[in-house]
Chain A
Amino acid sequence: KAGVTQTPRYLIKTRGQQVTLSCSPISGHRSVSWYQQTPGQGLQFLFEYFSETQRNKGNFPGRFSGRQFSNSRSEMNVSTLELGDSALYLCASSFQGYEQYFGPGTRLTVT
């Protein structure tokens, strides 16, 4: 089985711009979660989608949003980028939310 894939792997954006990251889960997995990883804050949960519905949400501002499509693929959007949004964004998929499998991440740099 193919693993979780994330695109793009690297991204450089300017403050004030917006960005969309994509995640394709393992075939058959219906749950997709997003995490932000930074040296200062560690790994923090952004949100989870299950069957196209947001099921859980972390403590991030409304500039961070996501969605899930009928094929379980998910996108994450960050609007009005700030320097502090520079991070590794990780996507994880699971069958029903228990055992999660992570993708390689998207490294976002905001200048």
Chain B
Amino acid sequence: GNSVTQMEGPVTLSEEAFLTINCTYTATGYPSLFWYVQYPGEGLQLLLKATKADDKGSNKGFEATYRKETTSFHLEKGSVQVSDSAVYFCALSDRNSGSRLTFGEGTQLTVNP
């Protein structure tokens, strides 16, 4: 079955630091990959997506590249802000599972001023 593994958290950074959150996956077929963000007390917001190998998703300064050879979709941001503090989830879906999303464990990011 499908699975997603994220780097163990939590992650604490200073403002303007570089961020990487690792995500690897196991899937049958050719999945679509997503990063979602959850702020305290809220639901999940779609941050970025990629649907095929070598696609790069980007939004609000965050980027992730779909690497089929390493089955990875690592999230990066060059300079984090305090407002980026949240929980980040890597997820996938594939045609066999329809719209069903399989999520990683989530990574808590805290950015200090």
Contact = CB atoms under 8 A, between A and B. Distances in A.
B3 to A, nearest CB: 12
Interface residues of B, number: 20
B44 A31 contact: no
Interface in B76-113: 89, 93, 97-106
Contacts of B93: 98
B101 A56 contact: no
Contact of B99 (A6, A100, A102, A104): A100
Interface string B42-54: 1111100100000
Contacts of B89: 43
Interface of A, helix, strand, loop or mixed by DSSP: strand
A31 B97 CA distance: 14
A55 interface: yes
Nearest to B41: A104
Nearest to B32: A98
24 contacts: A6-B43, A31-B99, A33-B101, A35-B101, A42-B103, A43-B101, A45-B100, A45-B102, A48-B98, A48-B99, A48-B100, A55-B99, A56-B97, A56-B98, A58-B100, A90-B43, A94-B99, A97-B98, A98-B32, A100-B46, A100-B99, A101-B46, A102-B46, A104-B43
Given A48-B100, A99-B49, A102-B44, 12 more contacts: A31-B99, A33-B101, A43-B89, A45-B102, A56-B99, A58-B100, A90-B44, A92-B101, A98-B99, A99-B46, A101-B46, A105-B43
